[in-house]
Amino acid sequence: MKKFATTIILIILLVSILMMSACSGGADTAEVDLDFDGLGSKPNAQAIDKATPVDGSKVKLSSEETTDPEVLSSIIYLIGLANQNNVECDFYAAAAYGTGEAKIKFGKDHIVGSMDTREWRVYDNGEYFFDSYGLVVEGHTIKEDGSTGKVSNAILSALSMVLNFTKRVYSPDCETFYTSKEGKTRNSTLTLYPSLDAVKYDKPKSLVENFDEYVETNYYRNDFREFSSDDLSEELDPITSGFITYDAEKGVYYLECSVNCEDTDVLDLSIKSMKKSAGTEIFAYADKRLKIEIWECGLIKNYINTNVWEATLLPTSLKLSGSSDNFYEQRFTYNKDDLEVINVPDDIKQNMMTSTQKKKK
């Protein structure tokens, strides 16, 4: 799934920019590097032995995009298997980045804004750590004649103080979860990724939740270790088209597919999350495309989610309509010995547990 808040914050960003005059200036985005800590490397023997392998007899390959029901069923099978293996494995680490560009039409003009997000997580035999943050990186206007205007750095800085987000989660036992959103970002935050030094947490002020509360408030379907919370039940026809290939030399299945955006039950949790955060009931996905690599042992290697959404922003009397194009890539490793960059000191974990807020009702 998800799990970046890129599009939600963009709505707020663009409405804010809409109320201001366009000025000269701009902001630079940062390149992201996911090539660290063996991300995407083949799982070790222990991880392979624990996982349920792909049953080749259940997979119909196709090198071309198709609506063949057998291929679509194979895609559902592969995603479901990998999702479950991720929940049941003893250890995994994953890192991801996201980008999003949203556009709002108001009158004859368009307001465009963009944001970058970074995320990484480690699950280790019942202990869990998650780090996520996002920053506004650019905003501009598009006039009716096609000309553009930039938003000043001063305005972007003011908006960033309100809109840039951080989220840090720690659970020592996957029964109690400590969540803090009080981190401070700075200009170098994106370039420091994935270092823990990228975001400074002076006083974590952690919110305490149990397993069920954490899963519900973060819109996971069954478990926080799932990489997708879409409802891929066969009866919903969740995949409209796609293809699957297999690289026998590498032992990797590669699939691409389009997700059914017409049946809102498929994407219900993502939609609920958007509506709650954006304050709008008029929201819909226009397109969602997945690109996934899965090892033959059944563990996921790489997950890419691109999607487009459209919304009417409240209050509807303002006649603000918006859309957004978003990209999210997440890579996995199951080899604990590779873990060097993503290594959480005990004092950070302790701070998360000792500085707490009242439990959410």
pLDDT value of position 28? 46
pLDDT value of position 141? 80
DSSP bridge pairs for 257 = 242, 290
Q: What is the mean pLDDT of each run of 10 residues along the chain (361 residues)?
A: 48 48 42 87 96 98 98 98 97 93 74 86 97 87 84 65 84 96 87 91 88 94 93 95 98 98 91 68 82 98 90 55 82 92 91 75 46
Contact 246, 254 (CB under 8 A): yes
pLDDT value of position 149? 83
What span, in angstroms and rounded, lies between the C-alpha atoms of 98 and 332? 15
What span, in angstroms and rounded, lies between the C-alpha atoms of 285 and 96? 22
pLDDT value of position 21? 35
Distances (CA, A) of 175 to 88, 209, 353: 16, 8, 13
Coil, helix or strand at residue 307: strand
What span, in angstroms and rounded, lies between the C-alpha atoms of 111 and 149? 10
pLDDT value of position 361? 46
Contact 286, 306 (CB under 8 A): no
What span, in angstroms and rounded, lies between the C-alpha atoms of 219 and 215? 6
pLDDT value of position 357? 66
What span, in angstroms and rounded, lies between the C-alpha atoms of 313 and 118? 26
Tracing tokens 């096609």 back to the chain, one arrives at: 146
